[in-house]
Amino acid sequence: MIHNYILFKQICGFLFLLDLIFFLPQASLWLGEGYSKKAWWNQKPVFSIILLLWALSAIGLMTHTLSWISIAILLLLFRYFYIYSRWNSLLRGVGAVGFMPHWVTFYLFLLESSLKVQDHGLLTEHFLRMARWDFAFIFICAGTYKGLTGYFQGEGVEYGLANPIWTYFYSFFKKTDPKNKIYRTLNIAASIGQISIASSLLIPGLQTLGALGLMGGFTTISIFFRIGRLGPLMVAIGLLFLPELGFHFGHPAHLQSQTWNVSSSAISLSILNILYTLTWIYIGLLPIVKIVQYMNLFFNISLPPLLQTAFNRYTGFFPIIIWRVFTTDLTNFFVRIYKQTTPEIELVTENTVYRLPYWENFALQYRYLHVGESVCIATLFNTIKLFSSRPELFHDKLLRYAATIPNPEQVPLRFQYVLLTKGTEKHMNYTPIANYFVNVKTHTITEEKLTSERTVATKAKFSPIRESTGYGSYVKKD
């Protein structure tokens, strides 16, 4: 039995539909040829049909109509937009905000399929256990990475709270002392809390406590940070680990009528045993995979070439990644954008689109208040750190990005990289590090360094990131 399964599916369907609704005003930019290279599928009418399928499938989940088909369609769409496109779209799969919808639909597909097999619920039990362990290791990884990269040393949540691309309340938190003991406590609690919640989910008697911690934590995070539907989705996942609430939307008779079953005799016992075994193998490999990934990243230790290649393909397929959510390499900077007219026009700054209320350019503000745009900016400028030997990658991405900014006159744009720093003052400082003058018409970029102390390529304190051998790999490039 899967506790609160129908309710979970219905909430997920609603959240997936909300995601689409929030994407729609800029769908061709975020999901289409704006941030991705032109292809047959992102042109009308095919692109419109894809978005319609997304909407109908989400509604199918909400209404428990053709659930298996709806989940399969969503899984394929999310696999493309959120996983496959991570390495070629400027949107970068929306980071964790896109990773988790794919994760959810992957396990929904396995669970929904297993419910159709009449094997006394054994396959469902195995898939549910696999999902629980997988989710727990995601959380353990997130908490561990935070602890290893600065949260225990007082370098963590205070940057995100004072950063206009990650929160609505940056103007308040910018004025607070970033070295305050409250921040140090929050940082330690964030790291240890994630590990503790994950551990609780793996202990039968503590699952309910872990689920409540998960739901309460992400409800709070959703209030303070701009993370789209990720927060509510994580809260919904907690339902699977609570006792049965006996509640869902819709008439029970209608919900029951949508089921179809496959007799266990139609599937050989050997195939079922193979599936049972594969779930245990996956669970058993999870700690090994994480250890190898951390060895790759933190200790620059890699497996023999052929084995490492196989390992990278395995982790890329599922995918299994190191969770770097809200660590300082992503939260300790933001970018201002100016149009180089006379006088210069502020397009994207804390005084314009990040300020609420701001009515002068609602369309631009809507774009820059979407979490996808925050992920885009953070990953775009981290390209300098992650691919230091290939500056042409950053140049190409920045030119592509600049071409998407409303600028009919095609005047040069100025991108100013602003670092969040802690000084002697009892507030967070916004310190300009460099300007990038971008001329889309001539395809040129000119960099102007504003300080000799730091560069855009300088990684955050305690950060282990450096150039790797390729996308999705944590092996250091020689």
254's enclosing H/E stretch is helix 252-257
Question: What pLDDT score does 383 carry?
Answer: 96
End-to-end CA distance of the chain: 50
* Domain residue ranges of the chain, discontinuous segments joined by +: 5-317, 333-449
> Predicted confidence band at 455 (pLDDT cuts at 50, 70, 90)?
very high
User: Which residues lie closer than 8 Å to 193 by C-beta, 6 or more apart?
Assistant: 143, 213, 217
| Euclidean distance between CA atoms 463 and 159, whole angstroms | 14
DSSP codes joined into one string, 148-172: HTTGGGT-SHHHHHT-TTT-TTHHH
What b/e readout covers 55-64, taking b as 16+ CB neighbours within 10 angstroms?
eebbbbbbbb
| Pick from 334, 330, 336: nearest CA to 415 | 336
Q: Which residue has the tokens 């996983």?
A: 83
422 touches 156 (CB < 8 A): no
| Euclidean distance between CA atoms 97 and 224, whole angstroms | 16
- The tokens describing 328, both together, are 């300082």
SS3 content of the chain, % helix, strand, coil (to 5): 60, 10, 35
Question: What pLDDT score does 1 carry?
Answer: 74
> Predicted confidence band at 256 (pLDDT cuts at 50, 70, 90)?
very low
| Euclidean distance between CA atoms 135 and 199, whole angstroms | 10
* pLDDT > 70: percent of the chain: 97
Residue-wise pLDDT for 3-60, tens only, equals 999 999 999 999 999 999 999 999 999 999 999 988 888 888 999 999 999 999 999 9
- Section 123-146 average pLDDT: 97
| Pick from 339, 343, 344, 336: nearest CA to 406 | 339
428 three-state secondary structure: strand
Which whole-number Å values give the CA distances from 252 to 248, 258, 315, in the listed order?
Answer: 9, 10, 40
Indicate the pTM of the whole model.
0.95
Inform me whether the pLDDT recorded for 359 exceeds 90: no
Number of H helices, E strands in the chain: 18, 7
DSSP-assigned beta bridge partners for residue 115:
none
Cis peptide before 45 (omega within 30 of 0): yes
DSSP-assigned beta bridge partners for residue 476:
468
List the single range of 77-86, 135-144, 261-270, 406-415 with lowest mean pLDDT.
261-270
375 three-state secondary structure: helix
Question: What pLDDT score does 308 carry?
Answer: 97
Q: Where are the alpha helices (DSSP H) in 299-436?
A: 305-317, 328-331, 362-369, 371-386, 391-402
| Euclidean distance between CA atoms 95 and 156, whole angstroms | 18
| Pick from 428, 425, 473: nearest CA to 303 | 473
Question: What pLDDT score does 253 carry?
Answer: 45
51 three-state secondary structure: helix
Question: What pLDDT score does 439 carry?
Answer: 97
Inform me whether the pLDDT recorded for 201 exceeds 90: yes
Inform me whether the pLDDT recorded for 264 exceeds 80: no
